[in-house]
């Protein structure tokens, strides 16, 4: 099933910001899986006195760090290959700083939001329940 169009009109593409948010939302399952794998470690840290805010900071730092590495690699590849894609761009220079900066900000904000949910879940873990489960 394709997009239905009215004869003589072209389909409206999705908003680029919506596409970036959907692409950035792939970060959530990666961080959630990492937190699930480290439940025992987080439980031990909490039992030894780690505060919920320190657990949240640790998970957020990990998630944002992964996103920063991905953004650094993506931006470097984009800068290298932007000249070869210049013919495909419309009304945008190949290395447009506003576009690169906007995309970076949106993806980092999405990474922070996607990391916040698993971080709050990790902070809410009951150490005794986690240690008894294993």
Q: Are 31 and 62 in contact (CB under 8 A)?
A: yes
pLDDT in tens, 42-64: 888 988 999 999 999 999 999 89
Q: What is the pLDDT, as a whole number, of residue 11?
A: 58
27-37 per-position pLDDT tens digit: 788 888 888 88
Where are the chain's structural domains? 28-133
Kindly report the CA angle at 20 between 36 and 120, in degrees rounded to 5?
30
């Amino acid at each position: 099933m394709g997009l239905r169009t009215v004869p003589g009109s072209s389909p409206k593409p999705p908003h680029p910001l919506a596409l970036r948010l959907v692409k950035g939302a792939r970060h959530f399952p990666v961080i959630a899986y990492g937190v699930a794998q480290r439940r025992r470690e987080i439980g031990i840290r909490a039992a030894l006195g780690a505060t919920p805010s320190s657990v949240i900071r640790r998970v957020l730092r990990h998630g944002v760090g992964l996103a920063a590495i991905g953004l650094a690699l993506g931006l470097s590849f984009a800068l290298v290959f932007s000249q070869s894609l210049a013919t495909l761009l419309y009304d945008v220079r190949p290395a447009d700083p506003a576009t690169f900066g906007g995309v970076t900000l949106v993806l980092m904000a999405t990474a922070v939001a996607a990391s916040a949910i698993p971080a709050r879940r990790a902070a809410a873990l009951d150490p005794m329940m986690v240690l008894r489960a294993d």
